Structure 1
Amino acid sequence: MSGDERVVPLDRVVRRVLEGVSGRDSRYVIGIAGPPGAGKSTLADALREAFGSAHGVRIAEIAPMDGYHLSNAELRVRGDLARKGEPDTFDAAGYVENLGRLRHAPIGEPVPWPTFDRRIEEPTPAGVVFTRQRVVITEGNYLLCDGAWSGVRDLLDERWYLDADRDVLERRLLRRHLRGGRTADAARAKVRDSDLRNADLIARTRSRADLVLRERQGGYYAVVR
């Protein structure tokens, strides 16, 4: 870390967001971008818990980008199953459309959101339904990318980037693919030929984030430039 940077504990960031949420009619949307294996889902879970509940309802809920994976059947027909996880293997337009609806729908109006089941590597339609939650935590690789994803940035109140060292990414991704049933050779090929190549693409969007986050000693810290 350079001398002109400082770290801010994540709970301080949460307090700031809650101040911004107060008095708003629309939902407050936090976007967490970053490479595969950086721990975005884990951070999103921690954030959801940090926001807590009010009147028996969670203040925040998670809207994962992974819910917009194209189905394995569609990818197989296209000949793209081996490339699953790359930018064009998602329904980016559907993601942007529903994120806009989630941001602008009146609090209390149900908005279904698909989730992703890693056990079967398939989306689950309406895996979560937003109703009275006032904070949306959406996380995924390509939130700060251009092209089909360019509409995402205007829908985010906070643009965060979760960073991690390359060797950490490689180790986590290899473990993920082995748990998913790939052979050791197939897992290494997936990490080398797809995941880390995607990580390089995503790294070029880091400068578009408002905050860059890193995990440190079991907690999350924001590096403020």
Structure 2
Amino acid sequence: MDSLRDEISPYRHFERNAWAKLRADTPMTLDQADIDELRGLNDRIDLAEVVAIYLPLSRLLNLYVAATQELFRATGKFLHAEGTKVPYVIGMAGSVAVGKSTTARILQRLLARWPNHPKVDLVTTDGFLLPNEILEREGIMNRKGFPESYDLPTLLRFLSDIKAGRRNVTAPVYSHLTYNVMPDKRVTVDQPDILIVEGLNVLQTGRPPRDGKIIPFISDFFDFSIYLDAAEDVIHDWYVTRFFSLRDTAFRDPKSYFHRYASLTDKEARATANRIWETINLVNLRENVVPTRQRADLILRKGADHIIHSVWLRKL
């Protein structure tokens, strides 16, 4: 049965050592200082992980980008519309606390050091969350991060402009300190070679319309998508560990939305983290995030040690 399942699976499965060999002669362009700069809170990534997992992935994406650029040039020639630069868009999905931001930043740095696509931008979908005042008015503040908490029309318009090759496309910016969208701040994306879009629900879809009308999804604008995966109980442990770290650092800032948690005892902090996980993040993970995993082009599976042990690459 297992052999049959593997035979009909849309993915090719690689154990860590087999995947690492696909690096070929890809040069290592990061050092320990880069890793320390890019690593997120409580992420334990090191140079060995970059060599084994991220260098082969950057090589694969470099080949895909080059092939897509050639295809775009051929299409432009056919349409007599040559010259417009359109970014290659990579989607990055996965749970809260699984390490998406670190993975996205490392890929951004590695891809930018390939000679044929030096400009790589990164945008998170946090900036497209509805402002807190709207979430509170709609009674869905406790569902922040769920699909309904995003300004989907604005996000789709942003991606549509990016894929149309428009210049100086702006996106809203989110503050994790104030836990809200920053009303007076925008980030500008100006025709990068590659754009990485990172977020919980970027692979989310809805039910197809019965009348056949086109309803675009975020993933419709992706050229490649990655899902960062780990076991549910492992992510839970990482979330609680991160909560403790934040209690001792960012939450101590009086401007922090979660400043009230800075004075919690260890017992209170653990109970609070577990409650938030079980009532919000776990529900979102089960209902909205994990069901999108099989839509990804690449699945990276982490173990409790934070190391990626398995890779699944969708067959062409």
Structure 1: stretches of 5+ with no match in the other structure: none
**Residue 210 (structure 1) aligned with residue 297 (structure 2):** yes
Q: Mean alpha-carbon deviation: is it higher for 14-23 or for 111-120?
A: 14-23
Give the one of 61, 70, 73 matched to 2:130: 70
The answer to which structure, 1 or 2, has the higher relative contact order (CA under 8 A, 6+ apart) is 1
Q: 1:76-225 maps to which residues of 2 (within 5 A)? A: 76-106=136-166, 109-124=167-182, 126-147=185-206, 151-178=217-244, 179=246, 180=251, 181=258, 182=261, 184=269, 185-201=271-287, 202-215=289-302, 222-224=311-313
Choose the corresponding residue for 2:63, options 9, 15, 19.
19
More strand by share: 1
Rate the CA distance shift 1:62–1:219 in 2: closer, same or farther, 3 A: farther
The residue matched to 1:63 in structure 2 has which SS? strand
AA aligned opposite 2:190: T
Distance 1:175 1:139 in 2: 22
Give the alignment's TM-score, normalised by structure 2.
Answer: 0.62
**Other structure's SS at 1:138 match:** strand
Q: CA deviation at 1:19?
A: 2.9
Distance verdict in 2 for CA 1:139–1:123, change over 3 Å? same
1:27/1:104 contact within 8 Å kept? no
1:62–1:124: structure 2 CA closer, same or farther, 3 Å change rule? farther
Aligned residues of 2:173 and 2:181 also touching (Cα < 8 A): yes
Q: Give yes or no for contact 2:87–2:191 (8 Å, CA) kept in 1.
A: no
- Report the secondary structure of 2:227's partner residue: strand
Task: Give RMSD over aligned pairs.
Answer: 2.7
Q: State the alpha-carbon separation in 2 of the partners of residues 101 and 122 from structure 1.
A: 24
* 1:103–1:155 Cα contact (<8 Å) kept: yes
CA separation of 1:35 and 1:54: change in aligned 2, threshold 3 A: closer
Counterpart of 2:204 in 1: which secondary structure? Answer: coil
* Aligned mates of 2:242, 2:131 — CA distance in 1: 19
Does structure 2 retain, via aligned residues, the 8 Å contact 1:10–1:222? no
By percentage of residues, which structure has more helix?
2
Q: Provide TM-score, normalisation by structure 1.
A: 0.85
Q: Which residue does 2:14 correspond to in 1?
A: 6
The Cα of 1:29 is off from its aligned counterpart by: 0.5
* Superimposed CA distance per residue, residues 177-210 of structure 1 (whole angstroms, 9 cap, x where no aligned partner): 4525345233321100110111112111111111
**Tell me, which stretches of 5 or more residues in structure 2 are unaligned?**
7-12, 20-52, 73-84, 208-214, 252-257
Contact 1:65 1:139 in 2 (8 A): yes
Rg larger in 1 or in 2?
2
Q: Distance in 2 between matches of 1:90 and 1:205?
A: 17
CA distance in 1, matches of 2:147, 2:298: 23
Question: 2:93·2:199 contact (CA, 8 Å) conserved in 1?
Answer: yes
CA distance in 1: counterparts of 2:206 and 2:130, whole angstroms = 17
